[in-house]
Amino acid sequence: MSRALIIVDVQNDFCEGGTLPVEGGAELAGAISEYVDAHHGQFDHIVATQDWHIDPGAHFSENPDFTESWPRHCVAGTRGAELHPDLDTEYIQAYFRKGQFTAAYSGFEGLLAPDDAVPTGDRKPGAMPVSAGAGDAGASGGEGAHGEETEAEDAIGLYDWLQSHDVEDVVVVGIATDHCVKATALDGVQAGYSVTVLRDLTVAVADDPEDAIAEMELGGVDIA
C-alpha cells in the first residue's frame, strides 16, 4: 500500500498579500515545509494542487458573496497562482492544476501540470508566463473554453495518477479547511481512499471551521 500527501492550494493569492488571502496562509506554507522535511519518509508520494483559473465564469465576481463567488484569484500563468515561496517544493513529485473553466474546489478535478512548469513563480524578467496546462487557452489557442478537442482529453487527473502509483492512503493539508481541503478530502473518500486531514496544517476562511470539520468526519474523513 502506498501513502500520499496532498498539499492543497498553498498559493500566493491565498496567503497574505494575495487577492484572496486566508489569515495564516503564509505561516502555514512554512509549517507544511517543516512537516514535509521531518516526515517525507513516511510518504511514498507527495503532490500539490493549484487553482489555475482562465475563465471560471461566475466563480469570479466584482461583487462576490464569498460563498459561491469570489474576487479574481489564481489566474493561470500569474504569480498569484504559483505556490507560496515559503512552501519548499523539494519533495513534491507532481502538480495538479484545477479550475481552468470551472470553480473546481476539489484537487481531484485537477490535471497534471507539464513537467517543465515552474512551481514557485520564479522566472527570468521578460520570460513568458508558465503554461496554464494541458488544454488551456495559452496552450491551445483558446479552444478549451468552448469544448473543442484539446490536449485535455489526454491529460492525467489526480485520481488516475494516484491509482497508477498504487496509492490507498491519503493525507491532506493546505488551504482552505472549509473549501478546497474539505472538497478534496471528501472526494478522496468517495474515490475509495483512506483519507486523513491534518487539522493543524490547514487554515480556514471561516473564523470557526467546526462545521466543515464535522462535515468531513461525517463523510468518512479522519481528522488528526
Name the maximum alpha-carbon separation found in the chain.
49
Q: Domains, the chain, ranges and CATH? A: 2-223 (3.40.50.850)
Residue 98 catalytic? yes
* pLDDT, tens digit, 9 for 90 and up, residues 157-213: 999 999 999 999 999 999 999 999 999 999 999 999 999 999 999 999 988 999 999
Out of 62-71, 117-126, 162-171, 172-181, which region has the weakest mean confidence (pLDDT)? 117-126
pLDDT band at 118 (very low <50, low <70, confident <90, very high): low
Residue 34 scores a pLDDT above 90? yes
- Paired with 47 in beta bridges are 6, 94
Average pLDDT over residues 67-94: 94
Check: CB of residue 163 under 8 Å from CB of residue 170.
Answer: no
Residue 35 scores a pLDDT above 70? yes
- Report pLDDT for 153: 59
List the catalytic residue out of 13, 15, 86, 98: 98
Q: Tell me which of 134 and 84 has the higher pLDDT.
A: 84
Is the overall model pTM greater than 0.75, yes or no? yes
- Report pLDDT for 19: 93
Angstrom distance (rounded) from CA 179 to CA 166? 27
Q: Among candidates 112, 119, 52, 130, which has minimal Cα distance to 90?
A: 119
- Report pLDDT for 1: 79
Check: CB of residue 134 under 8 Å from CB of residue 87.
Answer: no
- Report pLDDT for 126: 32
Cell numbers 507560496 label which residue?
Answer: 84
For residue 172, the Cα-to-chain-centroid distance in whole angstroms is 10
Q: What is each CA distance from 141 to 53, 135, 136, 148, 153, in whole angstroms?
A: 16, 9, 8, 11, 16
Residue 9 catalytic? yes
Residue 180 catalytic? yes
List the catalytic residue out of 13, 74, 180, 187: 180
**94 sits in which H/E element:** strand 94-98
